[in-house]
Homo-oligomer: A and B are copies of this chain.
Amino acid sequence: MTKHTPPLRLLRNSRALRRAEEIVDAAAQVFAERGYHGTSTQAIADVLGLRQASLYYYFPSKEAALEIVCERGVDGFLERAEAIVARKESALQRLTHLVASHLEPIGSKPDYVRVFINERRYLPNAARKRIARKIRGVERCFADVLAAGVADGTLRPDIDIRRTVLLILGMCNAVINWPAADRDAIDETAREIALLATRGLRSGSGA
């Protein structure tokens, strides 16, 4: 990432844009399978039948590719979560929707999400912090809904909100590393998580 400066003007060209897209896709696929450090740029090129050096016409560095893949992996999570929190629904309903919304990209772009979940820690500082901010935003959405539920009495008052948020997200994020066979029925899984969380957290169900 020194002098080459990727031909940014060319990225408006539809041809180059499509190629860049293919390369990002290939990178996501291989990063997801072997991890960032376990992936050589050669392996990415192999997916497309390209030469290793040709990748550098589109990307200044392997790190930059990771950054793009991670950005796409996290993209939309926060926005959708914030929209759901803003709805005029009960805490339990919103929590259920939050879970379903959080799981949806796991079905639609699993490689990207997997890389974002497993490999983001290898990002350079700036990108890592940017993504961490988004994640904290999502956590805050879950926390706000839980707090609302506690406030209006539908959720047990004894829960540690921070920890509970991390546990629910732990269930959601675990799905991304399941074998494909267990991962295919995302909707079912979303319902199970929501059911487990809402029944497990609501008040009035005895000691």
Please give the distance in Å from A193's CB to the nearest CB on chain B. Answer: 6
Residues of B within 8 A of A182 (CB): 162-163, 166
Q: Is the interface of A mostly helix, strand, loop or mixed?
A: helix
Q: Please determine whether A174 and B166 come into contact, CB atoms closer than 8 angstroms.
A: yes
- Other A-B contacts than A36-B38, A38-B122, A195-B200, 17 sampled, CB-CB below 8 A, are A35-B121, A35-B122, A37-B38, A118-B118, A159-B192, A160-B192, A162-B182, A163-B182, A163-B188, A164-B192, A166-B178, A167-B171, A167-B189, A167-B192, A169-B174, A196-B196, A196-B201
A49 within 8 A of B: no
Q: What are 14 of the A-B contact pairs (CB < 8 Å)? A: A35-B35, A36-B37, A38-B122, A159-B192, A163-B182, A164-B192, A167-B171, A167-B196, A170-B170, A171-B171, A196-B201, A198-B200, A199-B199, A199-B201
